[in-house]
Amino acid sequence: MNYKNLFYSATVIFALSCQTSPTGRKQLLLVKDPDMNTMGVQAFEEMKKKTPIDTGEAVNRYVNCIVNAELQVTEDDTGVESWEVVVFRDSTPNAFALPGGKIGVHTGILPVAKTADQLAAVLGHEIGHVIARHGNERVSQNQIAGGAQSIVKALGKDQAAGVLGAGMQYGVLLPFSRTHESEADIIGLDIMSKSGFDPKESVTLWKNMSALGGSKTNEFLSTHPSDETRIKQLNEKMSESLQKYQIAKSSGKQPNCKL
């Protein structure tokens, strides 16, 4: 094996693939956006076939009202032409978003995200995963770790959903890394503030989650930040977010989303 050539090739890959996330964090992205978007669309279509969909007019109007308000202030350069929102009849308190602009909301999140502002924190977070290309990072990391040349083609649809962060394992959504989760929290906080939702409700949301016992495991052993850590990180950005919230309200951004 020619280790010199191997090292050179790896160096070139890293040099060509390193990009920057919305928060300024360096990223390794080996997959083109169109391929990621196709992957996300395929995984979402499979999920729609397997999970009951809630077609109730009230809940869909409510969720779409929040998403539309947030998308109006979202800067996305991943090539998504239009976003699709589906409410799934699932009692687990979750929501997710996939490359390609696909958003899934479980009915089980509504008793936890008790207000439109709290649900905006959830949905802004999920949109943040997409625009920060966290799914691409996961796929790229799998390529490096496994030595696969084309994981997009190699993975089945169910596996693809897992890598993207929406696959089911032991009845729960596969989590992103702590870094991804924390970054999505901050991006989501920015999105909800700019769209006219009260950023303080993001903290209330995680207090509600904590009351469910969401992060009782040792944080070091978990890929999710602890609820206490999330709340601390959100509060560190709160002053800046409140300023953006006030600017949004004064400019007429006051979403009236009701269930």
Is 75 a residue of the active site? no
Q: Which amino acid is at 53?
A: I
pTM, full prediction: 0.80
pLDDT tens digits in sequence order for the chain, 259 residues long: 444 444 444 544 554 456 888 888 888 888 899 999 999 999 999 999 999 999 999 999 999 999 999 999 999 999 998 999 999 999 999 999 999 999 999 999 999 999 999 999 999 999 999 999 998 888 887 777 655 444 445 455 555 555 555 543 323 234 567 888 899 999 999 999 999 999 999 999 989 988 886 444 444 345 556 778 889 999 999 999 999 999 999 999 999 999 9
**Packing angle, helices 238-250 and 227-236, rounded to 10:** 60
Among 70, 126, 137, 201, the active-site one is 126
Q: How far is the C-alpha of 39 from the C-alpha of 50, rounded, in Å?
A: 17
Q: Which amino acid is at 125?
A: H
For residue 37, the model assigns a pLDDT of 95
For residue 17, the model assigns a pLDDT of 56
Task: Note whether 124 and 113 are within 8 A (CB).
Answer: no
For residue 51, the model assigns a pLDDT of 94
Q: Which amino acid is at 143?
A: Q
Please choose, from the candidates 111, 112, 64, 118, the residue with its C-alpha nearest in 3D space to the C-alpha of residue 86.
Answer: 64
Q: With b meaning 16 or more CB within 10 Å and e meaning fewer, what string describes 78-94?
A: bebeebebbbbebeebb
Residue 87, sorted as left (phi over 0), alpha (psi -120 to 50) or beta, turns out to be beta
